[in-house]
């Protein structure tokens, strides 16, 4: 099964406010891959850092170190109920990250886009993945 189709689904639910997305396992292993043109590329270390924070439900490292995605450091803004994390980088857009039982859904909001819509996109897929 290819998970890359979910990238388009995330973007569709985000009403085209998301321009890149990916899904990683709670272990940091990528589920989507670079075969999709809109894959948000995470290094192994970036994915591991994000997955460890969600596994521990401790976002303190994100508040002090920021959140790195595709080589860009985003400033942690807040977490909502230990499931959704939002971050921003001026002139680079924003990151929305939501966790399910088995996976972490991540999407990038283009600069000037509506991050709330991107949150909705990752949320719908994360909720869907709750059944896995």
- The pLDDT tens digits of the residues spanning 56-112 come to 999 999 999 999 999 999 999 999 888 899 999 999 999 999 999 999 999 999 999
Which residues span the domain enclosing 102?
5-131
What does each C-alpha distance from 31 to 10, 15, 25, 41 come to in angstroms? 14, 23, 6, 12
Check residue 81 and give its pLDDT. 85
Q: Shortest CA distance to 107 belongs to which of 126, 80, 91?
A: 126
Number of domains in the chain: 1
CATH code, 70? 3.30.450.30
What are the residue ranges of helices labelled H in 31-76? 44-56, 60-65
SS3 110: coil
77: left (phi over 0), alpha (psi -120 to 50) or beta: alpha
Residue 131: pLDDT band (50, 70, 90) is confident
pLDDT one-digit tens code per residue, 22-51: 999 999 999 999 999 999 999 999 999 999
């Amino acid at each position: 099964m290819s998970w890359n189709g979910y990238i388009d689904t995330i973007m569709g639910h985000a009403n085209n406010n998301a321009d890149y997305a990916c899904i990683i396992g709670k272990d940091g292993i990528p589920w989507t891959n670079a075969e999709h043109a809109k894959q948000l590329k995470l290094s192994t270390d970036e994915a591991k850092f994000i997955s460890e924070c969600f596994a521990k439900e401790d976002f303190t490292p994100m508040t002090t170190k920021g959140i790195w995605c595709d080589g860009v450091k985003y400033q942690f803004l807040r977490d909502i109920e230990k499931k959704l994390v939002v971050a921003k980088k001026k002139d680079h857009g924003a990151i929305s990250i939501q966790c399910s039982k088995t996976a972490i859904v991540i999407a990038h909001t283009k600069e000037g886009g509506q991050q709330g819509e991107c949150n909705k996109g990752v949320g719908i897929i994360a909720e869907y993945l709750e059944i896995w």
